[in-house]
Structure 1
Amino acid sequence: MSGLKLFHTNGGVREAVPRLAEAEADVQGFVEAHMETLLGVRFLASEYGTGPVHGGRIDSLGLDENGAPVIVEYKRATDAGVINQGLFYLAWLMDHRAEFGHLVRDRLGATAAAQILWSAPRLICVAGDFTRYDVHAVREHRRSIDLVRYRYFGADLFGLETVASVTGPAPAAGVRRRVARPSAVCGRGRALVELAVAVDEVLLGLGEGVTRVQRKQYAAYQRLRNFACLCPPQQTKLLVYLKADPKEVELVPGFTRDVTRLGHHGTGDLEVQLRTERDVERAAELFQLSFAAA
């Protein structure tokens, strides 16, 4: 995986040799069994038939943390056709929204079905490797596509690496992302408007492949999974929810809070309250911690 080497350190130093799966089905079965942990996607169906006209089977169907439909396609090694195959199925999905909605309702309930985010469907391609042509190709498509490289290491380690992550086209002028134009979110104070812009820039700038997904109640920042969710400004503060473990953070009253068992918009168990640019600077290490865990 891009030259990454892993070593066992118990009883001496031994390299965990990277290897591909013996069969594509092995990768698919493992990812589907642990899809929410590995990809941040709730599993819906495997080998889903697209009917006699399309005559295909979607490897995996799911719903991500923000309610976006997800298609996952797998290849054991490098396969130039995986992207086009996935886009073919993505087009089918957009033409069969009602069918997908029924599937979500059956598996996850009516609430999840009512909140499907059709403006941001995703394709995740999991393969042994990708070429530079694959990376270039996804940047030319007007779809949200993630290229993810996998490797087994030794007998009990499994790794995923995001090779490329591209967001679909920006919304039309009438429905611009709220965080990108915070004046459309809140007119209660210039300071909070500017603070929202600053937080947005910091989160998007944490690393390559960070994308923003806008929902009505929050903006989610993700690589493969969400690592931060920014809510619209309140009267005196901004709220950001992070995937960092509250138990590993020194909680400061009025700045950070454990919301593990508290309902809130977005995802993440650590709440960060931002009132000034100084707070954004204080939160930088927490943003990095959550980004690294995504």
Structure 2
Amino acid sequence: MSGLRLFNTKDDVTEVVSRLAEVEADVQGLVEAHMETLLGVRFLASEYTTGPVHGGRIDSLGLDENGSPVIVEYKRGVDAGVINQGLFYLSWLVDHRAEFEHLVRDRLGATAASQVLWSGPRLICLAGDFTRYDVHAVREHRRSIDLVRYRFFGSELVGLETVASVSGGVPVARRARRQAVAQAVNVQGMPMMELASAVDEALLGLGDGVNRVERKTYRAYQRLRNFACVCPPQRTKVLVYLKVDPEDVDLVPGFTRDVSGLGHHGTGDLEVQLRTPKDVERARDLFRASYAAA
């Protein structure tokens, strides 16, 4: 995986050689059985037929943490057709929203079906590798596409690496992003609007491939999975939820809080309360830790 080498140090230092799956179905079966853990996507259906007119069969259908429909297509090795194949199915999905929502209702219930987010349906291509032409191609499309490289290590380990991640829609300049944040929040006083913009800048600036998803009650920042969710500012603070284990953090009253098991908007078990620009600086290491785990 992109030069990554894995070593076992239990008795002596020995390299664990990476390998591809024997057949494509091995990858698909593993991911479908553990899709929420591996991709942050709730599994809906396997080998879903698109009907006799369209004449296709989608490898996997799912729903991500923010309610966006997800198509997952698998290839054992390198396949130049995987992106076009996935886009073919994605177009079908957008044209058959009612059918997808009916599937969600059957599998996950009426509440999940009523909250499907159609502004950014996603395609995840999971393969043994991709070419530089694949990476370039996804950046030319106005769709949400993730290219994910896999490798098996020995008989018990599997690695996933995001090669490219592009959000749907026309790219937005960073200044325009700041303006969008300011316009999206309706709070009294410029300081909270500026603080929200500073948080947005910090999260988008963590690395390449950070996508932002707008929901009514929160804004999610994701790579393959969500790593941060930001709620609209309150009068005196901005709440950020991170995918960081609260047990690994020295919790500070008024700054960080364990919200595992508590209901809140967005995803993540660690709540970070930001009141000043200094709080944003204090939180940067937590932002990075959550980003690295996504």
Cα shift readout 1:30-72 (whole Å, capped 9, x = no counterpart): 0000100000000000000000011110000000000000000
Query: Is residue 2:180 matched to residue 1:180?
Result: yes
CA RMSD of aligned residues (A): 1.5
Distance 2:136 2:221 in 1: 23
Q: In the alignment, is the contact (CA less than 8 A) between 2:187 and 2:235 conserved in 1?
A: no
How is 1:82-231 mapped onto 2 (pairs within 5 angstroms)?
82-170=82-170, 180-231=180-231
Matched residue type, 1:12:
D
Q: In the alignment, is the contact (CA less than 8 A) between 1:179 and 1:185 conserved in 2?
A: no
Deviation at 1:164, TM superposition (A): 0.3
Q: Tell me: CA distance 1:266–1:221, structure 2 relative to 1, closer, same or farther (3 Å).
A: same
Q: In the alignment, is the contact (CA less than 8 A) between 2:239 and 2:273 conserved in 1?
A: yes
Other structure's SS at 1:168 match:
coil
Distance 1:148 1:268 in 2: 23
Unmatched runs of 5 consecutive residues or more in structure 1: none
Deviation at 1:181, TM superposition (A): 2.9
Other structure's SS at 1:3 match:
coil
Tell me the TM-score normalised to structure 2 length: 0.97
Q: In the alignment, is the contact (CA less than 8 A) between 2:178 and 2:200 conserved in 1?
A: no
Cα shift readout 1:247-294 (whole Å, capped 9, x = no counterpart): 100100000000001100000000000000000011011101111111
Distance 2:201 2:170 in 1: 16
Unmatched runs of 5 consecutive residues or more in structure 2: none
Other structure's SS at 1:36 match:
helix
Q: In the alignment, is the contact (CA less than 8 A) between 2:181 and 2:196 conserved in 1?
A: no
Other structure's SS at 1:47 match:
strand
Q: Using the aligned pairs only, state the percent identity.
A: 78
Query: Is residue 2:265 matched to residue 1:265?
Result: yes
Other structure's SS at 2:159 match:
strand
Deviation at 1:207, TM superposition (A): 1.0
Distance 2:178 2:62 in 1: 26
Deviation at 1:182, TM superposition (A): 1.8
Distance 1:154 1:204 in 2: 35
Q: In the alignment, is the contact (CA less than 8 A) between 1:227 and 1:268 conserved in 2?
A: yes
Off by >3 Å, runs of 4+ in structure 1: 176-180
Deviation at 1:170, TM superposition (A): 4.6
Other structure's SS at 1:158 match:
strand
Distance 2:184 2:39 in 1: 32
Q: Tell me: CA distance 1:162–1:46, structure 2 relative to 1, closer, same or farther (3 Å).
A: same
Q: Tell me: CA distance 1:293–1:34, structure 2 relative to 1, closer, same or farther (3 Å).
A: same
Distance 2:178 2:285 in 1: 25
Deviation at 1:187, TM superposition (A): 3.5
